[in-house]
Structure 1
Amino acid sequence: MFVRRENFSQYIKYYPVVSLLIALNILIHIMSLIPIIGDNVFGLGFGANYLIADGEYWRLVTPIFLHAGLLHLLFNMFSLYLFGPELEKIAGKMRFFTIYFIAGLMGNVLTYLIQPPSYVSVGASGAIFGIFGAFAALVYYTRNTMPQLKQTIMPIIVISLVMTFLQSNINVTAHVAGMVTGFIIGLIDFHPSRILNWRLKEKR
């Protein structure tokens, strides 16, 4: 399920939203490395609670597309590359983007509400944990019909949560809030009655 066998062109064709998000994150990171321009890109985009409190509300969104370094970027984009396609295929393009974006946004909103004014963060982790949360909702609905999904994704979710609390310099609030947000949206989107409606519309 999470083993990618597509070539580059197939991957872009089958999973356009995931591909666009990966490309956008990489492009913004490259821009952030350019002298002068990079300082402005990062300076105007990183999530800083004290600046959000001053009215710079765009910082609730922009940190989703910024990363603290190459390893940070690679780790998040590899997770998106690996786990995003299956959810995009199941949920559809718009629903997948909604899960990703709202989970990332809520991660930053809760970070602003819970963490101190001096707290600063960047990264797509909250959005990616939203993907995990949506998968958890799917597991809830298919626990009796698709046990292999539960066996595959739940250990990944558990390990990711454990690592969240064990590693340093991790925005725990964004991770947990993103996952809970993804789970709630998944419970709504993947409800059996809605899945049935999707299938009926596809047959028309």
Structure 2
Amino acid sequence: MSLTIVIILVSIGLSWYAWQNPSLLDKWVFNPVRVSKYNEYYRFLTSGFIHADVGHLIFNMFSLYFFGEAMEMFLGGYFGSNGTIYYLLLFLAGIVVSDIPTFLKHRNNSNYNSLGASGGVSALLFAFILLAPLQKVCLYFAICVPGFIFGGIYMAYSFYESRQNRGRVNHDAHLYGALFGIVFMAFLLPESIPNFISQIASWRLW
């Protein structure tokens, strides 16, 4: 059983358990004021393993499965046993780092809550795109475009929506999780940058 599958099963189990136990959901959700006021920094991580509803959970877990499996195989194949450590670090640090801007923006807003694995999933997705920018990425299994095009649209949309400050979706987590994934992979594998540029330069629309 892959590590990705283990993470998915743990996320499903904890999300379901939290839905049955609102007190646990309240204790684990990312609330910047409670983090700041009561030093509950564990929320940076626990909030990444619970989700708002079934739809939210399914979307994140499907994305985690496709891109997590690919990154786990690549990192394991390239770095051997250390690949598992790098994979966990990429995913878990992606969850934590992606919530730092949210913490700074909402640290005085006691009504703000955020949850879900989106930051970690975005980190895996964009690490994958950096390595294979021409690989097709599909939205809802229907619209498929090269990864670098999808990534550009994704980041532009996330940036725009984060500035609108509306709705329940934490677009900052998407944006900064994606940026973290790029930086992490570029640091871990510096040759990924020139390889990315080379692949993009070879791409043709027709």
- What TM-score comes out, normalization by structure 2 length? 0.74
Partner Cα separation in structure 2 for residue 72 and residue 63 of structure 1: 13
Percent of residue pairs bearing the same amino acid type: 24
**How many angstroms apart in 2 are the aligned matches of 1:62 and 1:137?**
27
- Structure 1 ranges of 4+ moved more than 6 A: none
Distance 1:82 1:104 in 2: 18
Structure 2: gaps of 5 or more residues = 77-83, 138-144, 193-206
Instruction: State how far apart, in whole Å, the 1-side matches of 2:135 and 2:9 are.
Output: 31
Return the match for 2:116 from 115, 123, 136.
Answer: 123
Aligned 8 A contact 1:134 1:183 in 2: yes
Letter of the 2:173 counterpart? A
CA distance in 2, matches of 1:78, 1:149: 16
| Equivalence for 1:24 | 10
Q: 1:191 to 1:72 in 2, by over 3 A?
A: same
Inter-partner Cα distance in structure 1 for 2:136 and 2:188: 17
Change (3 A) 1:82 1:163: farther
Distance 2:150 2:24 in 1: 33
Q: Which amino acid aligns with 2:17?
A: M
**Structure 1 unaligned regions, length at least 5:** 1-11, 194-204
C-alpha RMSD of matched pairs (Å)? 2.3
Please state which structure has a larger fraction of its residues in helix.
1
Secondary structure of 1:47's counterpart equals: coil
Alpha-carbon distance between aligned partners in 2 of 1:66 and 1:148, rounded to the nearest angstrom = 30
Q: Please state how far the C-alpha of 1:43 moved relative to its aligned partner.
A: 1.4
**Count of aligned residue pairs for this structure pair:** 170
Question: 5 Å matches for 1:28-177?
Answer: 28-34=14-20, 38-54=21-37, 55-92=39-76, 93-118=84-109, 119-139=112-132, 147-148=134-135, 152-161=146-155, 164=158, 165=160, 168-177=167-176
Whether the 8 Å CA contact 1:106–1:178 is kept in 2: the answer is yes
Contact 2:48 2:117 in 1 (8 A): yes
Q: Shift of the alpha carbon at 1:148?
A: 4.7
Asked if 2 retains the 8 angstrom alpha-carbon contact of 1:137 and 1:184, the reply is no
Report if the CA contact (8 A) 2:93-2:120 is conserved. yes
TM-score normalised according to structure 1 size: 0.74
Aligned-pair CA distance for 1:75: 0.7
Q: Indicate conservation of the 8 Å contact 2:129/2:135, yes or no.
A: no
Kept after mapping to 1: 8 A contact 2:47/2:115: yes
